[in-house]
Amino acid sequence: MSTQTSTGTPTGAEHDPYASSLADDAVSDTSHVFNATGGDWDDLVDEASALHEERIVVNMGPQHPSTHGVLRLILELDGETVTEARAGIGYLHTGIEKNMEYRTWVQGVTFCTRMDYLTPMFQETAYCLAMEKLLGITDEIPERASVIRVLMMEMTRISSHLICLGTGGMEMGATTVMTVGFRERERLLRVIEMITGLRMNNAYIRPGGVAQDLPPGSIDALREMVPELRRGLGELEALLNENPILKGRTVDVGVLDLAGCMALGITGPVLRSTGLPHDLRKVDPYCGYETYDFDVITRTSQDAYGRLRIRIDEMYESLKIVEQCTERLQAGEGPVMVADKKIAWPAQLALGGDGLGNSLDHIREIMGTSMESLIHHFKLVTEGFRVPPGQAYQAVESAKGELGCHLVSDGGTRPYRAHFRDPSFNNLQAVAAMCEGGQIADVIVAVASIDPVMGGVDR
């Protein structure tokens, strides 16, 4: 940076053409000249220039280079070959984790659901399970609530995978893959909206259970959706699995072996593409996953093609779990919120007959039947419940890998600290290992096979 002196002569003017031009124009003595520098970008350019080699540094981003969010990739090229790759993050930082410290425990759900906006149910579940550990009510969660949580997570897993495959296909020029993927995702979002009231950012899974039970018609909607979705997945398989153009773009692209995954803390489909059947639903079950029949999908190709095939097969396994959840939910009714009235609201939430607001039964309970219920409801909503001091960590198997939530309580009505281990954050570390030595066109394929979402990375 160059600044003007009191005599009007800029310091460092002999090295700064902009400063000298300002002096020539007789700018005011109080004027300042600011030269912006690019940090790591300039360092890379200077290094490449000093070696006197034919190398190019390309700044890819931070606009959507792979439609996964504002990801910045700094690539050093030797012709078409990538010799160095760096990922720059932080352009979507929302301060969600810090904001959660200034809201009640229940309000925290509406924050964490917005991190990875393609997998809201996983963030909500991890957060609530960790909080329930602190409250000591893990074993008191109603079975029906746990079944609904599993149902919502598996539908979200399919939805996330469809976005991964659809956008990945679009990035390679296969727009039909995107239109089919998004069409099938709409089937899921219609049911999710029917149950929760929202397509995304649901804030449906709450401490102690879920916000409300399934509305009338949900079981029929689920039974109608599953066979339609299976047919749609069949179309995707026909478009992708043995497509020679797709295989030419993905086979042996973005290779990362098991040792690399272990060194970088990589989880999810990227890890399972190395042949390791690591899935928290089997390894460390939660929400009753040990009672469901499904397989952990693995492949051994260690490349982008293997990850694509894993995600397709995982969607079929998720549909199997959705069918099992549907059978259990149809078998009987029951509470969907813990019985502890220090945590649960006095009356069970439900939609009104017009699909808006709360049901008349809920309003009658807290407004017309019991003054104590009204007061208690008011205090729970405005002040929130207290969580005993301590800390807890809970991990779930998100669509992208291990999603962990670490909560610290000081005994108050809001978190002292909330921190999430988002799988995309860890998985993005693999960009250099996957891309260096490959072609620049393969960078997009490699990043798409990681399936990062920057909302979860930056938080």
Q: How far is CA 38 from CA 44, 61, 223, in A?
A: 10, 14, 55
Tell me which fold the domain 103-343+385-458 belongs to: Cytochrome-c3 Hydrogenase; chain B (1.10.645)
Q: What are phi and psi of 406, to 5 degrees?
A: -110, 120
The pLDDT tens digits for 209-261 are: 898 888 888 999 999 999 999 999 999 999 988 888 988 888 988 899 999 99
Overall average pLDDT of the 65-86 stretch: 78
pLDDT at 357: 56
What is the length of the chain? 459
Whether the predicted pLDDT of 10 surpasses 70: no
What does the angle CA 332 – CA 125 – CA 290 come to, to the nearest 5 degrees?
Answer: 60
Q: How far is CA 336 from CA 142, 149, 221, 399, in A?
A: 6, 10, 20, 25
pLDDT at 26: 45
What residues does CATH 1.10.645.10 cover in the chain? 103-343+385-458
pLDDT at 23: 42
Count other Cβ atoms within 10 Å, centred on residue 354: 6
Q: What is the mean pLDDT of the chain?
A: 83
As a whole number of angstroms, the distance between CA 171 and CA 67 comes to: 8
Q: How far is CA 297 from the centre of its chain?
A: 21
pLDDT at 196: 87
Q: What is the band of 313 on the pLDDT scale with cuts at 50, 70, 90?
A: very high
Nearest to 88, CA basis, from 447, 437, 423: 447
Average the pLDDT over each of 171-185, 256-270, 373-387 and give the range with the smallest value.
Answer: 373-387
pLDDT at 231: 93
- 439 forms beta bridges with 81
Q: What is the band of 1 on the pLDDT scale with cuts at 50, 70, 90?
A: very low
Whether the predicted pLDDT of 349 surpasses 70: no
Q: Which amino acid is at 347?
A: A
Whether the predicted pLDDT of 8 surpasses 80: no
The pLDDT tens digits for 80-139 are: 888 888 888 888 888 899 999 999 998 899 999 998 889 999 999 999 999 999 999 999
Q: How far is CA 88 from the centre of its chain?
A: 18
Higher pLDDT, 13 or 295: 295
CA-CA-CA-CA torsion sign (310, 256, 289, 220): negative
As a whole number of angstroms, the distance between CA 153 and CA 396 comes to: 10
Nearest to 256, CA basis, from 65, 101, 100, 445: 445
Average the pLDDT over each of 13-17, 163-167, 325-329, 369-373 and give the range with the smallest value.
Answer: 13-17
As a whole number of angstroms, the distance between CA 440 and CA 432 comes to: 12
Name residue, tokens 């059978």: 327
Name residue, tokens 């890998």: 401
The answer to whether 317 touches 297, Cβ cutoff 8 Å, is: yes
pLDDT at 127: 94
Q: What are phi and psi of 236, to 5 degrees?
A: -60, -45
- 337 forms beta bridges with 209
Whether the predicted pLDDT of 380 surpasses 80: no
Read off the DSSP letter of residue 367: I
Percent of the chain with pLDDT over 90: 42
Whether the predicted pLDDT of 45 surpasses 70: no
Over the range 266-289, which residues count as b (16 or more CB within 10 Å of their CB) and which as e?
Answer: bbbbbbbbbeeebbbbeeeebbeb
pLDDT at 36: 54
Percent of the chain with pLDDT over 70: 81
As a whole number of angstroms, the distance between CA 401 and CA 152 comes to: 17
Residue ranges in 415-453 assigned as alpha helix (H): 423-427, 431-435, 440-450
Whether the predicted pLDDT of 5 surpasses 60: no
Q: What is the band of 167 on the pLDDT scale with cuts at 50, 70, 90?
A: confident
Q: What are phi and psi of 57, to 5 degrees?
A: -105, 120
Strand, helix or coil for residue 57: strand
pLDDT at 2: 40
pTM (global) more than 0.85: no
Residue ranges in 85-200 assigned as alpha helix (H): 96-99, 108-112, 120-135, 143-171, 175-196
**DSSP notation for 232-295:** HHHHHHHHHTT-HHHHHHHTTSS---HHHHHHHT--THHHHTTT----HHHHS--TTGGGS---
Count other Cβ atoms within 10 Å, centred on residue 184: 24
The pLDDT tens digits for 261-278 are: 999 999 999 999 999 999
